[in-house]
Amino acid sequence: MQNAGEIRTAHKSRQSHWFGIWGVRNFYHKLEIQARAGAEFNLGYFLLIIAASLLATGGLLANSAAVIIGAMCIAPFLGPSRAVCIGGLFLDRKTFWCGLIKQLVGLFLVGAGLAYLITLILLDSTPGIEITDEILLRAMPTTKDVILTLIIAVAAGAGASLAFTADPHVVDEPWGQLLDVMIGVEIAISLMPPAAVVGIGLAFGNFAISRNAAALLIVNVLALDVLGSMLIFLLRGMRKQHFDLERGTRKIAESALGEISEMVHLNSVVDITLQNDSEADIFITLRGHANDISTDFAKGISQRVLERTACRSKITVEFSPTQMYAT
């Protein structure tokens, strides 16, 4: 018969197992890589925003919902939104701020700025350019419009997080990229059109339109990044200590690799799978000469992990002989 202490320990173990993302190889490491990639500026990001802004501006001025949808399909705002969410959740200030700046620069400086220039040119060269219903929908929204837009932004952010938490193995699946595209369209719904309206309003000299669209845009960014994305991660049980545990375990294994021959170290791979917040599986693929490795190499890593993180571990080491030749 179990005593009270054993019952509490078993209950805590079940909670630990169910509250979080477990059993997915390198889960937090892959999230970190995607977040940092989403926070980096690159030429492709600006080119896609330029294309999306052109489509959005044309669609808004032509009062064409179909063209506006086309702009949503190519607007690249999923990456920086994910960077803000994951950077904030794991207290990675650089990723958080770079992702937020990337969002704001893309939306206000590039998106709204290009919409402003295009509208000015059209006003000077093309008769019949005027404020349309699609523009007013983002510039002078009713209470109903604001609530619905907020729901869309929160749902888009939640979808971006659920893509990784409802089925965590999606990080390894090829169809995960397609899922990212679909979620990216949802995110662009709440960001790209109001950003273009900010520029259009300035070109018309109607600052009320620009002010209202900018306010709607900022609310959408907050709803998307915080209320949608970050909240879902927290509710799913993702915590900074889980991220730190996976990263710390990886560093311990990599430091052990650094103590053996340089060739083996540089050509080796370390994979971490957290089973719960106190157990981890470590799979190491060593490429080089097996005679460079101590017979108790795996045992030594397991002991280091236990001492430094209080985490029990199961170590698997696979030797993969290699040859290298250079002229």
User: For 141-185, how does the pLDDT look when each residue is reduced to its tens digit (9 = 90+)?
Assistant: 777 777 877 787 787 777 777 777 766 665 555 445 545 555 665
Percent of the chain with pLDDT over 90: 35
Domains of the chain and any CATH numbers? 22-238 (1.20.1080), 241-321 (3.30.70.2210)
Question: Running DSSP on this structure, what letter comes out for residue 106?
Answer: I
Contact 110, 50 (CB under 8 A): yes
Helix axes 93-104, 78-89, angle to 10 degrees: 150
The answer to whether the Cα torsion of 60, 61, 67, 70 is positive or negative is: negative
The answer to whether the Cα torsion of 154, 86, 107, 175 is positive or negative is: negative
Q: Between 231 and 260, whose confidence is greater? A: 231
pLDDT band at 227 (very low <50, low <70, confident <90, very high): confident
Which pTM does this prediction carry?
Answer: 0.81
Half-sphere exposure of 326 (CA within 13 A, CB side): 0
Strand partners, 276: 279
Q: What is the pLDDT of residue 4?
A: 44
Contact 86, 188 (CB under 8 A): no
